[in-house]
Structure 1
Amino acid sequence: METQTTSEKDIKAIIEDIQKKQADIDTVLFIGCGASMSELYGGKYFLQQNSRQLKTNLLNANEFNYARPLSAGKHCICIIASHGGNTPESVEAVHNAKKWRCHTIAITHEVGSDLTKEADYVVTHAFFESYATKAAKQKVVTEIALECLQTFEGYQYYDEMLTAFKKIDQVINNAAASVIESAKDFGQTYKNDSLIYTLASGPSFGAGYSTANFIFMEMQWIASPVLDSGEYFHGPFEMTNSGTPYVLFMNDGSTRHLDTRALEFLQRFNARYTVIDAKDYGLDQAASQNVIDYFNPLLLTGVMRVYMEQLAIARNHPYTKRQYMWKLENY
């Protein structure tokens, strides 16, 4: 059964309604836990890069609950995400945001879940329908960020973003279909590793964080430090030796130089690496150079999902298997 999804037009109406109630919004906070927090990164990054007036930050929900930012008040929009809508810390974050007079937008796959009960607005997204929908949460988050910027400041590339949103799903699905064999090779190459370093930069750092923390560590119990491609050269590259395993996400956009420099170092010292490069999958056919940065993580997420599935098969370790999550009541 397909989820009733919130359209871009509906998202625009939500932000316009907030503006009618509070014209002087000055802060947009992105709040969540785990994979949902990582999927908020792209929206935060978009505002960080393009807003001259709106302050923004990405916060773990329980940190938000226990260490309230001073900006969390009537001039603030809180965007709070939970895939199933039942993450206790995120549900509590909606409650606190409301108590502190923030304008709250709940993002979830589950209509009517606990996350939605106190929220001012609810945005729902698909997930199971295709590889593109594995990035649907990131997509609606970036749409919300876009409408915040357009409504409260204006954005010169607004129409180019809308065009890319219309095209990106097909690019993701085509890319996912094309990598089955390379994903099988990836599974065989890394199936016996107990550690894999993950490198990413710019808008795709959230996708790297998600890959390291949730695909490798949560789903496969493989240790995976996540490193910014730029920061790699300021300490972590000392761990690179012949055969050291890495996954490197490469952007098609502003921070590509950082990823290329990291790749050249991995090659120089004979590391064992896999590159997942957005440029290989025709991202520029969907997004103009003015906005292409913000669509990298959506594409890389869809492709990495295929790699994750094949790694799980090669390791004979189902990606739904857990030893603590969903097993313990108190932790």
Structure 2
Amino acid sequence: MTDGTYVGPHAVTPIPDDVVSSQEQALSLWPAIDNHIGGLEADINRVFLVGAGGSYLAMVPAQWVLDKHSNIPAVTFNSDEFYYRKPASVGPNSLVVALSGTGNTPETIRAAEWAAAEGAAVVGVTLKAEGPLAQSLETSFVAETGQGTQILLQLVALAVLKRENVDIGPMHEALHALPTALLASLNALEPRAAEIAREMKDVPVTNVLASGPLFGAASTFTMCYLQEMQWKHAATINADEFFQGPFEVIDEDTKTIVFLGEDETRPMGERVQRFLSTYGGETFYVDSTDIPLPGVDQRQRPYVLPLVFHAWMARLAAHYAAARGFTLEGRRYMWKVEY
């Protein structure tokens, strides 16, 4: 660790007081999003979700919804891969959604500008109206927090579905119930976050297993929070890919984190659970069935839970920082050296 990141174990930072308001602000942009996407004159026959790092991983829930409900093919690209590969189907009949929280990610700006030059309809999602991404595009939607950008991505996806005459009513209602439900879930999950951080803070390699729409949140935790901000070796393993090699590193001394959702891929996680209960060491399950979501229709829980897990990653990271004593602001290389 370099100087300036270690402050010693300390009390965890509180849950931000803008959890509800920032989501409500994002929800208020639905008319603008609906009007823009619905008003696109060209037929849309391909959707590209483009971002880098945490923004790339944040696309997983939106990709999942489009895959599940839309007949329009959708694909998620890392920003530079999108730019350098230059998919032939990018053009007047494609929609490109470019996400950069800071709005400063050069790879994403370049990718978005290239797509626009090819004639694609390009929409930016960001936290900075004055940032380079928003300034470089004709249309951007601006949230206040990461929870807000997740809402905006879902609203864009719902607007695409609405163009196809898909009934989005139940999902739209679930999103409107999410702000207060998310706050309740974060409060309920605080003890679990504290326990995982306390028991896992010193393991040499942190493996997190997840499936389906929870894979993005799990990867955000290992790559953005543990590797980038805590400088810990960590990996996210798809629950099915676990049995294609990674399970060979498991023994009674390994500690593992497993996310269990309520979507169609839950059996993949339950298969992991059966194996680890026989051959693994201490395992920390975060089972979505234990998470309260007051006001959300039971049938829509699988739809909103990926957004809950994405928000909870920040809380889990805050507990790691408190238990380990290393701040989330420290970096060795990012923004400091030429790369």
Q: Which AA in structure 2 matches 1:7?
A: L
2:127 aligns to what? 109
Distance 2:233 2:255 in 1: 11
The within-5 A match list for 1:154-165 is 154-156=165-167, 158-165=168-175
2:335 aligns to what? 326
Query: 2:234 is paired with a residue of what secondary structure?
Result: coil
The Cα of 1:185 is off from its aligned counterpart by: 2.1
Distance 2:54 2:91 in 1: 26
Distance 2:277 2:315 in 1: 25
Query: 2:141 is paired with a residue of what secondary structure?
Result: strand
Q: Is the 8 A contact 2:239 2:272 kept in 1?
A: yes
Whether 2:190 is the aligned partner of 1:180: answer: yes
Distance 2:136 2:231 in 1: 35
Distance 2:183 2:48 in 1: 30
Whether 2:57 is the aligned partner of 1:45: answer: no
Distance 1:93 1:281 in 2: 38
Q: Is the 8 A contact 2:184 2:292 kept in 1?
A: no
Which of residues 12, 32, 49 is equivalent to 1:10?
A: 32
1:84-121: CA deviation from partner (whole Å, max 9, x where unpaired): 10101111112101111110100001112100123231
Whether 2:141 is the aligned partner of 1:123: answer: yes
Which of residues 117, 132, 136 is equivalent to 1:99?
A: 117
Whether 2:74 is the aligned partner of 1:56: answer: yes
Which of residues 28, 42, 52 is equivalent to 1:33?
A: 52
Sequence identity (%): 25
2:3 aligns to what? none
Which of residues 255, 262, 266 is equivalent to 1:245?
A: 255
Moved more, 300-309 or 97-106: 300-309
Distance 2:32 2:258 in 1: 36
1:26-71: CA deviation from partner (whole Å, max 9, x where unpaired): 011000100011111111121112222x111000111111110111
Q: Which AA in structure 2 matches 1:317?
A: F
Whether 2:156 is the aligned partner of 1:144: answer: yes
TM-score, normalising length from structure 1? 0.91
1:297 aligns to what? 306
- Higher RCO (Cα < 8 Å, 6 or more apart): 2
Q: Which AA in structure 2 matches 1:138?
A: Q
The Cα of 1:10 is off from its aligned counterpart by: 1.8
Whether 2:97 is the aligned partner of 1:79: answer: yes
The Cα of 1:178 is off from its aligned counterpart by: 2.0
Distance 2:37 2:298 in 1: 25
Distance 1:138 1:67 in 2: 26
Query: 1:117 is paired with a residue of what secondary structure?
Result: helix
Q: Is the 8 A contact 2:181 2:294 kept in 1?
A: no
The Cα of 1:288 is off from its aligned counterpart by: 4.1
Distance 1:320 1:275 in 2: 28
The Cα of 1:25 is off from its aligned counterpart by: 1.0
1:6-30: CA deviation from partner (whole Å, max 9, x where unpaired): 6222211111121xx21x2101100
1:130 aligns to what? none
Q: CA RMSD in A?
A: 1.8
1:274 aligns to what? 284
Structure 2 unaligned residues grouped into runs of 5+: 1-17
Q: Is the 8 A contact 1:103 1:120 kept in 2?
A: no
Q: Which AA in structure 1 matches 2:93?
A: H
May I ask how many residue pairs the two structures share in their alignment?
317
TM-score, normalising length from structure 2? 0.89
1:170-202: CA deviation from partner (whole Å, max 9, x where unpaired): 221111112333322222211212311111111
